[in-house]
Amino acid sequence: MVTAVDGASFSVPRGKTVCVVGESGCGKSVTGRSILRIVDAPGRVVGGSILWDRDGTGDPVDLATLDPGGPDIRKIRGDEIAMVFQEPMTSLSPVHTIGSQIAESVRLHTDLDDDAVRGRVIEVLGQVGMPRPESRYDAYTFQLSGGMRQRAMIAMALVCHPRLLIADEPTTALDVTTQAQILRLMVQLQAEMDMSVLFITHDMGVVAQIADEVVVMYLGTVVETGPTEQIFTDPRHPYTRALLQAIPRFGQRRAGRALSIIPGSVPDPYRRPGGCPFHPRCAQARPGTCDVVEPATVTVAERRDVRCVLAAEEVHS
């Protein structure tokens, strides 16, 4: 059995944007999907808990204990927690109009009549910046550009006013200009709707633009968490530092990630290295320690956890 995500521990505060960042294959998407219990077969949530404070009373329900196909999770999915993906066609059907698909989601979670449903759909299409929303109601996905499809998918996710939006690389496939527009839109909607956002990305540049807090993952483990400013000005984990050094500087060409300076690539999860999983690529790894002992997570400050022996020594010295 492969454990893609092991000991991932973090929380998303109300009304905040938390970015989960790491290279591809580090378990970010699995973490997002396991919250809504939609991990692709043969994966499944085997342990741990996913606590969802439904009504803000501090009496959370553990989503990990719910039947993934059962009525409880279906009630939460879409209504309380919604998700958007990199590829809009994951959520949008090619054979139904945009409006009818979003309307379906409204009908599922409210008992508005047909006119009110239509009005609500047009309203949300306008909110996400769809030009001429009335006429887009009857458009099919093939009639829309990539950026418009992404807006339609965000509209579908937001139409029921979820309290948590999970966004998995929603701008990665878009050109730079459209990406910037969609990011601005998400920041604006998040503030307007007082929504919490869990934003999954491999791009530290995106993190800098939208995150309140950052969760850095490596090989299915959370290696560092902290407020965005602290992560950028005082990164404590060698992997976080390497990710920051790999951000293309202004004026450098973004030539296919060739600027990345982290040596090696994320290992196959079937061959997870012993000790600290980052040790084969870590410039500060200590032979005899880092390749043998898996570091514990230490809390270095409020809402700041680091999983590295160096951080542990600083705290204890």
Residues in the site for Mg ion, rule: CB under 5 A?
A: 29
Name the residue nearer to Mg ion (CB basis): 29 or 171: 29
Task: Select from Mg ion, ligand SF4, none the partner in contact with residue 310, using the beta carbon and a kind-dependent cut-off of 5 to 8 Å.
Answer: ligand SF4
State which amino acid sits at residue 119.
G
State which amino acid sits at residue 61.
V
Name the residue nearer to Mg ion (CB basis): 24 or 145: 24
Under a CB-based contact definition with an 8 Å cutoff, are residues 227 and 212 in contact?
yes
Task: Select from Mg ion, ligand SF4, none the partner in contact with residue 29, using the beta carbon and a kind-dependent cut-off of 5 to 8 Å.
Answer: Mg ion
Cα dist. 243→202, 283, 286 in Å? 9, 13, 20
Burial of 11 (0-12, 13-18, 19+ CB in 10 A): middle
Site residues (vs ligand SF4, CB under 6 A): 237-238, 276, 278-279, 282, 284-286, 290, 295, 308-310
Under DSSP, is residue 81 helix (H, G, I), strand (E, B) or coil? strand
Cβ-based neighbour number of residue 118 at 10 Å: 18
State the minimum distance, in angstroms, from the CB of residue 244 to ligand SF4.
Answer: 14
State the minimum distance, in angstroms, from the CB of residue 261 to Mg ion.
Answer: 22
State the minimum distance, in angstroms, from the CB of residue 231 to ligand SF4.
Answer: 15
Name the residue nearer to ligand SF4 (CB basis): 137 or 218: 218
Name the residue nearer to Mg ion (CB basis): 197 or 308: 197
Return the residue nearest Mg ion (CB atom).
Answer: 29
Name the residue nearer to ligand SF4 (CB basis): 252 or 317: 317
Cβ-based neighbour number of residue 156 at 10 Å: 26
Per-residue burial over 268-284, b = 16 or more CB atoms within 10 Å of its CB, e = otherwise: ebeeeeebbbbbebbee
State the minimum distance, in angstroms, from the CB of residue 44 to Mg ion.
Answer: 18
Task: Select from Mg ion, ligand SF4, none the partner in contact with residue 246, using the beta carbon and a kind-dependent cut-off of 5 to 8 Å.
Answer: none
Task: Select from ligand SF4, Mg ion, none the partner in contact with residue 238, using the beta carbon and a kind-dependent cut-off of 5 to 8 Å.
Answer: ligand SF4
H or E element, residue 206: helix 204-210
What is the spatial distance between Cα 245 and Cα 155, in angstroms, rounded to a whole number?
35
Task: Select from ligand SF4, Mg ion, none the partner in contact with residue 220, using the beta carbon and a kind-dependent cut-off of 5 to 8 Å.
Answer: none
State the minimum distance, in angstroms, from the CB of residue 202 to ligand SF4.
Answer: 19
What is the spatial distance between Cα 209 and Cα 150, in angstroms, rounded to a whole number?
19
Name the residue nearer to ligand SF4 (CB basis): 265 or 284: 284
